[in-house]
Amino acid sequence: MSARRIFARPARLAAIAPYLWLLLFFLVPFGFVLKISLSQTAIAQPPYTPLFDLGGGWTEIRSAFAALSLDNFKLLVSDDLYVLSYVRSLYVAVASTFMLLLIGYPIAYGMARLPRRWQAVAMVLVIVPFWTSFLIRIYAWINILQHDGLLNQILLALRLVPSPVVWLSTDSAMYLGIVYSYLPFMILPLYATLARMEPAIEEAAADLGAAPWQVFWLVTFPLSLPGVAAGALLCFIPIIGEFVIPDLLAGSNALMIGQTLWLEFFTNKDWPVASATAIVLLIVLLVPLLLYERLQRRQLEEAR
Amino acid sequence: MGLAGKMAEESSRIDAGAGPGPRQAAPADGDVPLLRIDKVAKKFGTFRAVDGVSLDIAAGEFFALLGPSGCGKTTLLRMLAGFETPDEGRILLGGRDIAQVLPHERPINMMFQNYALFPHLSVRDNIAFGLKRAGMARGEIAARVAEMVALVKLDGLEKRKPDQLSGGQKQRVALARSLARRPQVLLLDEPLAALDKKLRESTQGELMELQRRLGMTFIVVTHDQEEAMTMASRIGVMDSGRLEQVATPHELYEAPNSRWIAGFVGDVNLFDGEITSRDNHRLTIATRDAGTLVVAEPRNPVTKPNVSVAIRPEKVKLSLRGPATDAINGSSINRLDGVVAEVCYLGGSTNYKLKLDSGSHLRSSIANTARIDIDAYGVNQHVVAWFAPDDCLVLEQ
Amino acid sequence: MARRRVSSFNIASLALGLAFLYLPIVILVIYSFNASRLVTVWGGWSLRWYAELFNDDAMIEAAWMSLRVAGASATIATVLGTLAAVALSRGERFRGRTLFSGMLYAPLVMPEVITGLSLLLLFVALNAERGFWTVTIAHTTLTMCFVAVVVQSRLASLDRSLEEAAMDLGCDPARAFLAVTLPLIAPAIAAGWMLAFTISLDDLVIASFTTGPGSATLPIRIYSEVRLGVKPEINAISTLIVGFIAVIIVVASLASKLSSAQGENAAPL
């Protein structure tokens, strides 16, 4: 037995309450999603037929199993609407993660180069928007991008465009919104790895004859890859399921999967199809989620 | 007896002011030692960090555990504190096995290597921390804290937080905090490692003085042999989880029991060879690299023919033509011819490295006893090195 | 110590990045004081829209609901998240640890539509009346992982020998935790609470799923207005929220400064 173990016994007891909470409010609900994704749609309240009633006894359960249907999943595969929105979500997530990396890296690099005292200030400045309401930040862009908004006013005043440009309800506006909202998520992990790096390592590379771009490409960038991975996953995963940004900024001709799910649930009131959509989305996310979980655990282990 | 009772007993002893001096010998046979470590072993996975260590420590001793990093000395110390539990063996404190007793129930305290001062508490509250846990009365705590503050000369700093203290001051707070409960044994884990050289030397003296005044048992872990030899009355040298030798500093230096100890504690020249004859308490040894050497027969008879001759550099004298004949009583002085290969001037002494005719090296350290040194030798100069048989050690290979 | 050179490229990218992050919010705040009903036409400074806001009972009710939910869920999440962080960073290995940490950290990146939908289905199955408590439970589930991350990273950076020293000086493990560990992680716990509070205040998607009729939160209310277009009142309420959160951040940074004055690293976030 060691000192750590003396401490470990009471510490483990602390897990009981959060463990039970998460089982009840995180794990069990997924069971319900799965169950309802396999049941039939009904025009009722709630709008689906209960799968089985345990009060009904054995025959009831058997008939319920017979009624289990993969119809909702078949619908997802056969209907272009769903397939297209999954593909679009993946595409948007990959593209915007790439843009975030391109924009976030120089900012994080600039932060890591500042003198210590200013680094702390820059860090706070990047974190503050992260605390500020997501919805309000998107709304701020609607203000700017609308037909007679500030952007068009400036462009017209400078005579760069003959008439107001349509910004809202376009993919450009959506990408702008995504990059704007997720930028702190990309910058912070990148900054964390870049700031931890010994300045002497870059100096050693320069001392051994590497030009500045070689120092960056051969030393700095490879060493920052864990931060790149963390930042990319931290953005990629939630962007796939994003609802608010595409709903407010993008056009309605092509939907992301989060919008489709929302639409099925709130507008079409088709809970089984919405649940099936969620299950498929979860499967799509499984690999990046597991990657992220591994990364997270390794980082915490390193911090010890 | 409860902790409070023990502390009362301790404090009456301390108040009486009588304690044995620091240079106390090993506990005599038959006495019950204060602390008995009995065949203690600790494994981490398959790695045997501590491998069957037995050791007795008497009340009032200043004992040092010395060894290179990873030798198991810190693990042994942590087992005494209760942070690790031995896999095998017993730890007896005053005859009671405490191997399974939790840290907070042991009358043993520890001074941590990085001090582990509570950053959210003032100096006063840090020192009072253990006293409050022992359920002492308020007034008593205040008195004891004041006593400790005076003892380690921290007057006026009671309200400071640890990060407002210098390294030396932090060290004193840590010491006062671990002494406040008047433990039966105080464990010190590399107590001076974080201090700079000058401060370390003065603190060594203060620690010794404190230990002598309190008559308390100190066990210090260190990797610094000079520190161990300066402070401790006895030293236990550890390597690879085993206790290699337990001896006074003098014994350890002049009579190491293995080649490894001889090399670990101080500098040494070693020549491997074979015993060719023995008579009149003198062994004649034919060495591979230094010809035939005559050495004094050790107290413990040598059983194997293959041995090593060890000679400390400061016992190797140098001159241009060899020793004056009247300086030798008898004919058995060892004499080696060589060429100076390296000279290293250290201020108080000069270290020479000679290349012998065999091609191997012999190191000699000459004290610079005069300001203008007429005896300095230069590189490539031919010199004669000589040393007495009594200054040589015979070690089994 | 070696000093890195700051190039003009570094400065430019940092300045542009920060401008990009802040400009839209600054513009929003300025427009909220615009006297004109037409959002884009500047009609001089005015507090008109703030006054109208205070007559908007539905908006005030939604704001009150959001504050209550945020307060309650942040408090529960802080308790649960701190317990979880302690178990994970001090509990060593225990059965179900992988599942536990997996469940704890998944909501951090789980798309909100999934979390919201699954919780709603649970509440429907339990026949729970949807409103304040269902949203509070949902937000607690969402935010406790943020608290756990903040507290756990503080616990990981805490010197373990401090706890050993406490035990050496006579504390049993529980006492050692209360007397030494807890005071040292308190700033991180406070930061965790504030983070949970702002996330709850901000959430639209999960609240939309789990709330019932007649108990809209502020983001739900704002969202339904925004969908209909830009309105000056929304600029005003947004400015109020931004100001409110700014106050929270100032308090948080003061708290972390307080903790760094205690000689330890400030809590993250």
Q: Answer yes or no: are the C-beta atoms of C143 and C199 closer than 8 Å.
A: yes
Counting as contact any 3 or more CB pairs under 8 A, the partners of B are A, C
- Please report whether residue A14 resides in a domain: no
Q: Do B119 and C165 touch (CB under 8 A)?
A: no
pTM: 0.81
Rg (CA), chain B: 25
C179/C157 Cα distance (integer angstroms): 18
Interface confidence (ipTM) of the complex: 0.87
Contact of C206 with C139, CB cutoff 8 Å = yes
SS3 B222: strand
Reduce the DSSP state of residue B122 to 3 states and report it.
coil
Three-class SS state of B110: strand
Whether B50 has a pLDDT exceeding 50, the answer reads yes
- Low-confidence winner among A53-62, A158-167, B283-292, C64-73 (lowest mean pLDDT): A53-62
Question: pLDDT tens digits, residue range A204-213?
Answer: 888 887 888 8
**Strand B234-239's sheet: what is its strand order?**
B108-111, B185-189, B217-222, B62-66, B234-239, B242-247
> Over 50: is that where the pLDDT of B12 sits?
no
Q: How far is residue C257's CA from residue B153's CA, in Å, rounded to a whole number?
A: 31
* pLDDT score at C104: 87
Task: Report pLDDT for A64.
Answer: 61
Most confident of the ranges B377-386, C99-108, C243-252: B377-386
Chains that touch C (3 or more CB pairs under 8 A): A, B
Inside any domain, residue A280: yes
In a domain, A249, yes or no: yes
Residue type, B255: A
Q: How many residues belong to chain A?
A: 304
Q: Please identify among residues 156-195 of chain C the ones whose CB lies closer than 8 Å to any CB of chain B.
A: 159, 161-162, 164-172, 175-176, 179-180, 183-184
Rounded CA separation A131/A142 (Å): 20
Identify from B42, B74, B85, B88 which residue to disrupt to test chain A contact, counting A C-beta atoms within 10 A and taking the largest count: B85
What is the widest separation between alpha-carbon atoms in chain B? Answer: 76
Whether residue A105 is contained in a domain is answered as yes
**CA angle centred on C256, ends C250 and C261, rounded to 5°:** 125
- Angle of helix C132-157 versus helix C97-105 axis, rounded to 10: 120
Check B84 against A3: CB less than 8 A apart: yes
Looking at A170-179, B253-262, B277-286, C246-255, which range is the least confident one? C246-255
Enumerate the β-bridge partners of residue B387: B334
Q: Rounded mean pLDDT of chain A?
A: 84
User: How distant, in Å, are the alpha carbons of A6, B251, C153 from that of A302?
Assistant: 22, 45, 11
Nearest-CB residue to A135 (from C22, C164, C223): C223
Q: For chain C, give the percent of residues with pLDDT over 70.
A: 92
Label residue B17 by pLDDT band (50, 70, 90): very low
Question: Among A33-47, A243-257, B292-306, where is mean pLDDT lowest?
Answer: A33-47
**Number of separate domains in chain A:** 1
C208–A133 C-beta distance less than 8 A? no
Q: How far is A133 from chain C (nearest CA, A)?
A: 5
Q: Any long-range contacts for B262-265 (C-beta under 8 Å, 24+ apart)?
A: B262/B310, B262/B393, B262/B395, B264/B68, B264/B225, B264/B237, B264/B239, B265/B66, B265/B225, B265/B229, B265/B237
Query: Touching check for A297 and chain C: CB below 8 Å?
Result: yes
pLDDT bracket for residue C257 (50, 70, 90) = low
Rounded to the nearest angstrom, the minimum Cα separation between A248 and chain C is 7
Q: Among B5-14, B102-111, B333-342, which is the least confidently predicted range?
A: B5-14
* B81 touching C (Cβ < 8 Å): yes
- Nearest CB partner across the interface for B120, out of C169, C171, C184: C184
Name the residue facing A199 among C2, C25, C222 (closest C-beta).
C2
Binary contact (B85, A1; C-beta < 8 A): yes
Question: From CA B366, how far away is CA B313, in angstroms rounded?
Answer: 8
Does residue A175 lie within any of the structural domains?
Answer: yes
Mean pLDDT, residues A232-250 taken together: 91
Interchain contact B122–C (C-beta under 8 A): no
The Cα–Cα gap between B249 and B255 comes to 10
Asked whether residue B376 carries a pLDDT value surpassing 90, the answer given is no
What's the pLDDT score for residue A63?
61
CA separation for the pair B361, C126 (Å, rounded): 87
Q: What is the mean pLDDT of residues A21-37?
A: 90
Query: Is pLDDT at B53 greater than 60 in this prediction?
Result: yes
Backbone angles phi, psi at A143, to 5 degrees: -50, -45
Residue B41 has pLDDT above 70, yes or no: yes
Q: Over 50: is that where the pLDDT of B11 sits?
A: no
Flag whether A297 is in a domain. Answer: yes
Give which of A98, A268, A252 is closest to A174, Cα–Cα. A252
- Domains of chain B and CATH, by start: 3-254 (3.40.50.300), 267-396 (2.40.50.100)
Looking at residue B14, its pLDDT comes to 37
H or E element in which residue B187 lies: strand B185-189
Single-letter amino acid, residue B236 = G
Provide, rounded to the nearest whole percent, the portion of chain B with pLDDT above 70. Answer: 89
Helix (H) or strand (E) holding B175, with range, is helix B167-179
Residue C22 has pLDDT above 50, yes or no: yes
**Contact assignment for C183 to B103 by CB distance below 8 Å:** no
CB B309 within 8 A of CB B271: yes
pLDDT of residue B331: 56
Residue A59's pLDDT is 62
| Residue B103 contacts C, CB cutoff 8 Å | yes
A1-35 in b/e form (b: 16+ CB < 10 A) is ebbbebbbebbbebbeebbebbeebbebbbebbbb
B109 touches chain C (CB under 8 A): yes
Q: All domains of chain C, ordered by start, with CATH? A: 63-220 (1.10.3720.10)
Residue at A24 is within a domain: no
Q: What is the CA radius of gyration of chain C?
A: 22
Do C262 and B119 lie within an 8 Å CB cutoff?
yes
pLDDT of residue C179: 92
Contact C121 A32 (CB under 8 A): yes
Q: What pLDDT score does C264 carry?
A: 39
Give the type of residue at A300. Answer: L
pLDDT of residue C1: 39
**Most C-contacting residue of A23, A26, A281 (CB-CB within 10 A), to test interface:** A26
**pLDDT tens for each residue of B128-152:** 999 998 889 999 999 999 999 999 9
What's the average model confidence in pLDDT over B289-309?
Answer: 85
Cβ atoms within 10 A of the Cβ of B29, count? Answer: 6
Give the closest residue to B328 by CA, choosing from B394, B375, B369, B386.
Answer: B386
DSSP string covering chain C, please? -------HHHHHHHHHHHHHHHHHHHHHHHHHTB--SSTTS---B--HHHHHHHH-HHHHHHHHHHHHHHHHHHHHHHHHHHHHHHHHHHS-S-TTHHHHHHHHHGGGTS-HHHHHHHHHHHHHHTTPPPSHHHHHHHHHHHHHHHHHHHHHHHHHHS-HHHHHHHHHTT--HHHHIIIIIHHHHHHHHHHHHHHHHHHHHH--HHHHHH--TT---HHHHHHHHHHT---HHHHHHHHHHHHHHHHHHHHHHHHHHHHHTTTSPPPP-
Q: Which of A156-160, B22-26, B187-191 has the highest mean pLDDT?
A: B187-191
Q: How confident is the model at residue A175 (pLDDT cuts 50, 70, 90)?
A: very high
Q: Do B113 and C161 touch (CB under 8 A)?
A: yes
Segment 62-91 of chain A within 8 Å of chain C by CB: none
A1 touches chain C (CB under 8 A): no
pLDDT at B1 over 50: no
Chain C interface, best mutation among A135, A255, A263, A268, by max C CB count within 10 A: A135
What's the pLDDT band for A146 if we cut at 50, 70, 90?
A: confident
Query: What is the C-alpha separation between B108 and B217, in angstroms, rounded?
Result: 10
According to the model, what pLDDT value does residue B3 have?
41
> Euclidean distance between the first and final Cα of chain A, in Å?
20
Ramachandran angles phi, psi of B169, nearest 5°: -70, -40
Question: Residue A155 is part of a domain; what is its CATH number?
Answer: 1.10.3720.10
Count of A–B CB contacts within 8 Å?
A: 13
Q: With pLDDT > 90 as the criterion, what percentage of chain B qualifies?
A: 60
Angstrom distance (rounded) from CA C238 to CA B378: 85
User: A161 is in which domain, residue-wise?
Assistant: 71-303
Interface probe for A, chosen from B83, B87, B91, B101 (most Cβ of A below 10 Å), is B83
Q: Would you list the DSSP string of B382-397?
A: EEEEEE-GGG-EEEE-
Tokens of B264: 């670990």
Residue C93, Cβ neighbours under 10 Å: how many?
Answer: 9
C262 pLDDT band (50/70/90 cuts)?
A: very low
Per-residue pLDDT for A260 more than 80?
A: yes
Q: What is the pLDDT of residue A154?
A: 87
pLDDT at A150: 84
Q: Beta B217-222 vs B185-189: how paired, if at all? A: parallel
A4 vs C12, residue with greater confidence:
C12
Q: Does the pLDDT value for residue A214 go beyond 80?
A: yes
Q: Cα angle vertex C212, ends C210, C218, to 5°?
A: 80
Q: Ranked by mean pLDDT, which of B10-24, B121-135, B323-337 comes out on top? A: B121-135
Share of chain A above pLDDT 70, in %: 88
For residue C232, cis peptide bond before it (omega within 30 degrees of 0): no
First to last CA, chain B: 51
User: DSSP code of B119?
Assistant: T
Residue type, B204: Q
pLDDT score at B389: 87
Least confident of A64-68, B85-89, B165-169, B381-385: A64-68
DSSP string, B39-95: EEEEEETTEEEEEEEEEEE-TT-EEEEE--TTSSHHHHHHHHHTSB--SEEEEEETT
C25/A137 CB distance under 8 A: yes
For residues A194 and A188, what is the distance between their CA atoms, to the nearest angstrom? 10
Q: Establish if A9 touches chain C: CB-CB under 8 angstroms.
A: yes
B24 has a pLDDT exceeding 50: no
- Which segment of A59-73, B293-307, C97-111, C255-269 scores lowest on mean pLDDT? C255-269
Residue B63 has pLDDT above 90, yes or no: yes
Position A170 in a domain: yes
